[in-house]
Structure 1
């Protein structure tokens, strides 16, 4: 059976290599990932360094996105991104500052402070960057792939106090989201899994719910545990890493796509608020970046909009806050 599965996967990957272009090239960033005239732009502060006692002798860079609509007198929502350098950049696959600018302006997500945090590194290791992402030269594997609550302590006990001291962040866990790709994705889920009192919204792209450090057990763990108040969107591609060893044998615990499917099945069985999409991509950020705006709309779909404009039939009109407060045009204007 395993050999048959290995052959089938090899054929699938062979078909993928026969495309006129790599399968990831079918995914392109849309207008929500670009700047637009008339859309207020938030500012990105950083990088700043965050040392840790949870992971002794390590430090990591982080950035903070502050939306133009942020009012220090009003609590803002919060969204944390792991492998922060990959999300905060304006030329990469995600370009979150542009996405937040557009969605917040159109009231498709709430006013949200974004925090982009890198994995840690020791004095002998390099700071994470686009050139060494996931190559073992940082503390990423240990921090992101373990299933214990250690990394959640770094986020909750070390990062959040710094952020909440500087910005007015809502304490409601329903107003806090967390996101990552690959090992960063399983890390995001793990933080929410251990601390749903702090984070209840998760975006996972090409999530490594695989046996790197035992992550393949999550589907069974979800089934055996009481449901937690977590909303999660998962993305993966059928041409992701498929568990083929060098000798051609198949290891189901190292099949990224199969494990993502198992996650959705387990979450659905336990009646979690879950959404997902499967594409044809590889272990790449291109599809995740292309659909990130839509994932965020879904994630924040029910946030309360208390000052929307209304038309004569008393229907709510979802318009940018600035437009909602603008004076009515003069007669005949």
Structure 2
């Protein structure tokens, strides 16, 4: 049985730096190929009922609306057996690319090719708390350098999935693995930064991290208490602080990506907001520290580009789950 101390042997296949584009086409494994389908569910959580993100933090900008409720989308693949402790993929800004992830699961959980298969993980797509940038609930959740969002997802969202009446009716013995090697997170933009931050601060909870067009820039709220330790927010992962390189290596598997036309800063004073530079430096820091990482630079593409997801997401998921030992 796998546990948090299990030794995986994923090897180095697929690790390193890659360039794709400028032409793109959808991966057939991200389309409906007629395979057995799983079950989809949707429910909502009131922010006011949360003990972690109530939507009333003092750092919030009153002009940036906060959601009253956040939607939670769940997909249980056909290959999942009720009572099994399932691995889980949490995706941010839900539903986001849930349609593509569903197709990947449908097509690849039954694959007989060990180099092109996925475990039967359950997907939990979580809507953000509202708006964007500094002073927003989404920014508070995603851009803050702390373990707060990891705790929210683990303690409140995943627990809510397991106790949801509709889901329990369909799967009376549904369960998630407690093994952090079986818990992955995927996000784009600030959601990508949140994915890395969740694993960085709580590798005991999440260890497989996927970030597209990651916001590894200075977007943490200026009033955040975390500014005292991380004054440049997620920029500190690769800044002169060298957070990644100066910290003991963590048991994380990390995918990062940036688009050629992701937000670039031409003004020297805006250096701390240069997405391309930030992602290139993050990848170099991961390489220097010896992480299992995969970095993709996509030509002729934009921020969180759908073409990039449609071409790469199946490969990304297969690489991310390499070496996973199911319970």
State the secondary structure of the residue aligned to 2:312.
Answer: helix
Kept after mapping to 2: 8 A contact 1:24/1:282: no
Give the 3 Å change call, closer, same or farther, for CA 204–228 of structure 1 in structure 2. Answer: same
Deviation beyond 6 Å, 4+ runs, structure 1: 135-138
Alpha-carbon separation, structure 2, partners of 1:275 and 1:168: 30
Q: Residues 266-305 of structure 1, C-alpha deviation per residue, up to 9 Å, x if partnerless?
A: 1111111111111112213321342010001101122348
Give the 3 Å change call, closer, same or farther, for CA 138–49 of structure 1 in structure 2. Answer: farther
Give the 3 Å change call, closer, same or farther, for CA 240–98 of structure 1 in structure 2. Answer: same
Deviation at 1:24, TM superposition (A): 8.3
Q: 1:285 aligns with which of 301, 305, 315?
A: 305
Of structures 1 and 2, the one scoring higher in RCO (CA 8 A, sep 6+) is: 2
Kept after mapping to 1: 8 A contact 2:213/2:303: yes
1:221 maps onto 2:230 in alignment: no
Structure 2, unaligned stretches of length 5 or more? 1-19, 56-67, 169-173, 221-232
1:28 maps onto 2:28 in alignment: no
Deviation at 1:170, TM superposition (A): 1.2
Kept after mapping to 2: 8 A contact 1:184/1:207: yes
1:201-220 mapped onto 2 (5 Å cutoff): 201-213=208-220, 214-219=233-238, 220=242
1:5-20 mapped onto 2 (5 Å cutoff): none
Alpha-carbon separation, structure 1, partners of 2:132 and 2:81: 37
Structure 1, unaligned stretches of length 5 or more? 1-22, 122-132, 307-333
1:86 maps onto 2:107 in alignment: no
Q: Residues 166-214 of structure 1, C-alpha deviation per residue, up to 9 Å, x if partnerless?
A: 5211111111111100000000111111111111101110000011112
Q: Give me the CA root mean square deviation.
A: 2.3
1:196 maps onto 2:203 in alignment: yes
Q: Which residue of 1 aligns with 2:254?
A: 232
Alpha-carbon separation, structure 2, partners of 1:40 and 1:235: 31
1:59 maps onto 2:92 in alignment: no
Q: Which residue of 2 aligns with 1:276?
A: 295
> TM-score by structure 1 length?
0.73
1:295 maps onto 2:316 in alignment: yes
1:101 maps onto 2:106 in alignment: yes
Task: From the CA coordinates, give the structure whose radius of gyration is larger.
Answer: 1
State the secondary structure of the residue aligned to 2:107.
Answer: helix
Q: 1:254 aligns with which of 259, 273, 285?
A: 273
Q: Which residue of 2 aligns with 1:77?
A: 87
1:306-325 mapped onto 2 (5 Å cutoff): none
Q: 2:125 aligns with which of 99, 116, 134?
A: 116
Deviation at 1:255, TM superposition (A): 0.9
Aligned length: 264
Alpha-carbon separation, structure 1, partners of 2:54 and 2:103: 35
Q: Residues 49-86 of structure 1, C-alpha deviation per residue, up to 9 Å, x if partnerless?
A: 35322112453111110011111122111110001121
1:161-200 mapped onto 2 (5 Å cutoff): 161-165=159-163, 166=168, 167-200=174-207
Kept after mapping to 2: 8 A contact 1:134/1:140: yes
Alpha-carbon separation, structure 2, partners of 1:299 and 1:151: 21
Kept after mapping to 2: 8 A contact 1:110/1:300: yes
Give the 3 Å change call, closer, same or farther, for CA 208–169 of structure 1 in structure 2. Answer: same
State the secondary structure of the residue aligned to 2:78.
Answer: coil
Kept after mapping to 2: 8 A contact 1:62/1:116: yes
1:49 maps onto 2:45 in alignment: yes
